[in-house]
Structure 1
Amino acid sequence: MPGWTGASLADSRRGADLTRQGENVGDDKEIRSFRLDVPDEAIDDLRRRIVATRWPSRELVPDRSQGVQLATVQELARYWSTDHDWRAFEAKLNSLPQFTTDIDGVEIHFVHVRSRHENALPLIMTHGWPGSVVELLGVVGPLTDPTAHGGTAEDAFHLVLPSLPGYGFSGEPTELGWENGRIAGAWAELMDRLGYTRYVAQGGDVGAAVTDAMGRKGPEGLLGIHVNLLAGAIGLKDKLPAESEQERAAHDALNTFTTDGFGYFLEQSTRPQTIGYSLLDSPVGLAAWMLDHDTDSYYKMSRAFVDGQPVGGLTRDSVVDNITLYWLTGTGASAARWYWEFGRFQAASAAAGQPPPAVSVPVGFTTFPGEIWAAPRSWAETVYPGLAYFNEVDRGGHFPAWEEPDVFAAEVRAAFRPMRTS
């Protein structure tokens, strides 16, 4: 089989093979079939590198305050090099309809699963960092076939799951400017190219920022959005209510993140190229960097490896599937560059004194208790005046679709239910 095909797919991608079907590859609007088939040599190389890891000494504290704990990463590495089955993940991904198409000079990969139910509502969902389409696979069934997962046919969605530019199987941007607004425009073009004239959008983490931008741009056909991270809270921190106990707790969490949990964000928003050299050279270094995102998610993932007790969908296999996807595609640096683009755009907007435009569509928001900052309703209403839907659920964290797919799917159904007839 041929290697990665297309000028936008970097030669550095570690030998993963791609089958693309269709003619006229140069046609900007063509949609091509995608199938993943990684050569054995790439998997063998990965395992050799894991075994050859040079380990640091053990941390001097009993928690993660010095970083990802040695016992966690060593057990992850052991499992990764001896027990993990990449072919099982390949088969899972290849069982879903996947495609690529060129938008604004970047080849965009996406999963596209149409529901069997009549009048299903098209939904585009955007993943985050250090996630990928892996974090969303658990909700494909519940959202496209709700009658098989405790819902009704009226709750069905046609699901579009794109890989962000520079992430996973999408191409890497070769020019500056791929911030949230540009990605939002690409997603609107993708939905138009798929023939969807009415649709909704959802996102968390980076996906929340992109989905927010979609709501503010208000492309034709977008009926509403749902997000599960209040991405605008950082910029509005001093303006957010802090009177109730819940509001003060959210402030404490936000302050803790921006002082103690902000290392990856600061490095990627200022020096993504620098960290990229390590992320593309050491698989264990990549794994540790990806685990060190937020306290709640870290301890849940660590528990899956050290104690063998996964929390929901955060299993050893799914965590390693996600890390392996980054490794095989060589996207550690290109994914990190989104943070640089985000910081650059935010700084330019602040310097120009330009507040973001108002959201022009209904907004739904769900607070998950393990989120980095679990936003109270007052915060969501500050960022989104006229909030159309709000709910606080009793479990789930920063990656709710991954961790608690059934809870997450129920929230997406509830948030978009009133918008189906608008």
Structure 2
Amino acid sequence: MSEEITEFRIDIPQERLDDLQVRLANTIFPTALPGDGWDTGVPVHWLRDIVEYWRTEYSWRDAEAQLNKFPQFTTTIDGQRIYFMHIRSENEEATPLLLTHGWPGSVAEFLKVIPLLKDQFHLVIPALPGFGFSGPTNDAGWDTTRTARAWATLMDRLGYDRFGVQGGDIGAAVSPEVARVAPDRVIGVHVNGAMAIPQFPIPEDEWATLTELEQDRLNRIQAFHREEFGYIAIQSTRPQTLAYGLVDSPVGQLAWIMDKFREWTHPREVNPEEILDRDWLLTNVMIYWLTGTAGSAGYVGYAQDTSWGAIAKNSGVPTAMIVFAHDAGVRRYLEPEHTIVRWTDVDRGGHFAAMEEPEILVADIRDFFKDLG
């Protein structure tokens, strides 16, 4: 099979953008449920405002131009097309660093950190299989291990024998897995948003040894399972059925993603466009919409992950974890799977750290990798 790496440039046909305009103009909104608040999902009054902005002010061509400033490529690995950005540092001694996004994010998550990292790192930023321009998937089985093997192959093709890895959300699962499949090549693992789910209920004597912060995080994990787990249940059992609505309706795709941006940005009670730029939020949605990958992204993100609840092998690779205010990592439950040499708690920021708190995230990454080689 060809190992060719091909230059890539985003160039969406105007017909697709014209079709989007028609669909947005003809959106049929549901009747608002009592209170029209976030407790029942994305409020109708809020989404109407975002859709109107999307239709009348947002420019995909501007976003496209911003993304196209960075060198982009595609290659085929294990039968799957993989899209990636590859930004080489002007410093030839820079450390190669592989960045992996999550769901419902995209490679666009890293737009703020690229300028802050490229002096110290050669950056490789692939889209997960089935996501955006790496989609859709051609076959089943793209769990974190298979993705990790693909990432190791990608770095080999780029000529990087030794490299670091970083990621959040799904990227926080894939990045340590790269170290497990290639422990002799990965110099360090840095993750944000990592979470190990202990066996509930936690015994009283064990609970008493936890700090107040750790107890709060575990309480929020339990609340997540009670109140927010529905999207995982749907995407991991009926991704094809869900895809019909999301691929056909741009507003459906917008609402599905915005629900999570509101829940996972920090502080939670603040609407997401007050934390993250509205244009960026729409660009992230557009990557899913224009590529029609809602179904394959859900399928890869959840349906194919068979490792939930299992204790993974510790690679022995030095690992750093940064936990922002929204996230719920507790060190003692993560230590069996990771060689944690650095742990950072941050009292602000949410799940989309590269966009919400890029300076804090970058400072932690830089400090961790500066002495690794």
Q: TM-score, normalised by structure 1?
A: 0.82
Alpha-carbon distance change, 74 to 259 in structure 1, aligned in 2, over 3 angstroms? same
Alpha-carbon distance change, 212 to 194 in structure 1, aligned in 2, over 3 angstroms? same
Structure-2 residue corresponding to 1:234: 197
Letter in 2 for 1:360: G
* 8 A contact 2:192–2:322 mirrored in 1: yes
* 8 A contact 1:326–1:332 mirrored in 2: yes
Matched, 1:387 2:350: no
- State how 1:287-298 maps to structure 2 within 5 Å: 287-293=254-260, 295-297=263-265
* 8 A contact 2:234–2:242 mirrored in 1: yes
* 8 A contact 1:368–1:397 mirrored in 2: yes
1:128 aligned counterpart, secondary structure: coil
Alpha-carbon distance change, 43 to 300 in structure 1, aligned in 2, over 3 angstroms? farther
Letter in 2 for 1:41: E
Report Cα offsets for 1:10-65 as digits up to 9, x if no partner: xxxxxxxxxxxxxxxxx521000001111211111011111111111223236411
Q: How far apart are 1:70 and its partner, in Å?
A: 1.2
Alpha-carbon distance change, 244 to 393 in structure 1, aligned in 2, over 3 angstroms? closer
Q: How far apart are 1:300 and its partner, in Å?
A: 6.5
Q: How far apart are 1:98 and its partner, in Å?
A: 0.4
Correspondent of 1:225 among 189, 213, 225: 189
Correspondent of 1:130 among 93, 101, 104: 104
Correspondent of 1:178 among 110, 120, 142: 142
Report Cα offsets for 1:291-311 as digits up to 9, x if no partner: 112624287797355xxxx32
Structure-1 residue corresponding to 2:322: 366
Alpha-carbon distance change, 42 to 298 in structure 1, aligned in 2, over 3 angstroms? farther
* 8 A contact 1:177–1:341 mirrored in 2: no
Structure-1 residue corresponding to 2:15: 41
* 8 A contact 1:396–1:404 mirrored in 2: yes
1:65 aligned counterpart, secondary structure: helix
Number of residues paired by the alignment?
A: 368
Q: CA RMSD in A?
A: 2.1
Alpha-carbon distance change, 266 to 304 in structure 1, aligned in 2, over 3 angstroms? closer
Structure-2 residue corresponding to 1:16: none
Q: How far apart are 1:237 and its partner, in Å?
A: 5.5
- State how 1:6-25 maps to structure 2 within 5 Å: none
Structure-1 residue corresponding to 2:60: 86
Structure-1 residue corresponding to 2:114: 140
* 8 A contact 2:106–2:284 mirrored in 1: yes
2:9 aligned counterpart, secondary structure: strand
In 1, Cα distance between equivalents of 2:187 and 2:197 = 26
In 1, Cα distance between equivalents of 2:52 and 2:357 = 26
Structure-2 residue corresponding to 1:103: 77
2:75 aligned counterpart, secondary structure: strand
- State how 1:133-212 maps to structure 2 within 5 Å: 133-145=107-119, 156-212=120-176
* 8 A contact 1:208–1:228 mirrored in 2: yes
In 1, Cα distance between equivalents of 2:70 and 2:269 = 26
Structure-2 residue corresponding to 1:213: 177
Correspondent of 1:315 among 269, 277, 295: 277
In 2, Cα distance between equivalents of 1:300 and 1:137 = 23
Alpha-carbon distance change, 208 to 176 in structure 1, aligned in 2, over 3 angstroms? same
Report Cα offsets for 1:378-407 as digits up to 9, x if no partner: 4443553x4111111232100000111111
In 2, Cα distance between equivalents of 1:180 and 1:400 = 21
In 1, Cα distance between equivalents of 2:303 and 2:264 = 27
